[in-house]
Chains A and B, each alone.
Chain A
């Protein structure tokens, strides 16, 4: 069964540094999402992306965050200047339309 893949599985970064999280959505899917989950808390929506532009973003997704689909397969989340509170599990998800969202295994981001 096709799946969403995310790299790296764990990223450790110094506070203030930029980090890029990578995702390869399921190949025929058109709608992409980033969520985050702080340890022990619920999954929170960050941003959705369709047709090469952001379709919706949450209040968490401030100017420090950006997303990009640099080619036909990758979907990236960039955090420009990381803060301690950015430490979380980041999940990428995709859907083909009127289907459930499929989640990747996540990237655990640790900010030191």
Chain B
């Protein structure tokens, strides 16, 4: 299966600092999806990357898919307290198949 490893497991930042979480796989991924889960909430889809080297931005969030399609990153610029939550990467075995999730990075933002 498409196993993804995610680091770090925890990240604590001061509001205004940047944050990055990384996903890595030993195999080539067909796609990478990023989800955010607020404390006590459910995973909410953020974005999907499909192409090698793809970069997408959503306001302060920048998502990258590696050239070899084996790694991905999510970078948040100037974190805010509303960014608190766990960020998961996930990859699908096929368009409609199961999602293989990374362990997630739990982000804490201190005001």
Q: Looking at the assembled complex, report how far the CB atom of B54 sits from the nearest CB atom of chain A, in whole angstroms.
A: 16
Known: A43-B90, A45-B98, A103-B42. 9 other contacts (CB 8 A): A31-B96, A33-B98, A35-B99, A42-B104, A43-B88, A48-B98, A58-B98, A105-B41, A106-B42
Cβ of A105 and Cβ of B42 under 8 Å apart?
yes
CA distance A45 to B48 in the complex (A): 18
CA distance A4 to B41 in the complex (A): 13
Give 15 CB contacts A-B under 8 Å: A35-B99, A41-B103, A43-B104, A45-B100, A45-B101, A48-B98, A55-B97, A58-B98, A95-B96, A100-B33, A100-B48, A101-B99, A103-B43, A103-B44, A105-B41
CA distance A43 to B41 in the complex (A): 12
Interface of A is mostly: strand
Residue B82 interfacial (CB < 8 Å): no
Cβ of A91 and Cβ of B102 under 8 Å apart?
no
Interface range on chain B (Cβ under 8 Å from partner): 10 to 19
CA distance A97 to B95 in the complex (A): 8
In this complex, how many residues of chain A approach chain B with their Cβ under 8 Å: the count is: 24
Q: Looking at the assembled complex, report how far the CB atom of B37 sits from the nearest CB atom of chain A, in whole angstroms.
A: 8
Chain B residues lying within 8 Å of A22, measured Cβ to Cβ, are: none
Contact with B along A80-112 (1 / 0, CB 8 A): 000000000001000101101111111000000
Residue A44 interfacial (CB < 8 Å): yes
Contact with A along B78-92 (1 / 0, CB 8 A): 000000000010100
Residue B45 interfacial (CB < 8 Å): yes
Q: Looking at the assembled complex, report how far the CB atom of B106 sits from the nearest CB atom of chain A, in whole angstroms.
A: 9
Q: Looking at the assembled complex, report how far the CB atom of B94 sits from the nearest CB atom of chain A, in whole angstroms.
A: 9
Chain A residues lying within 8 Å of B97, measured Cβ to Cβ, are: 48, 55-56
Q: Looking at the assembled complex, report how far the CB atom of A16 sits from the nearest CB atom of chain B, in whole angstroms.
A: 28
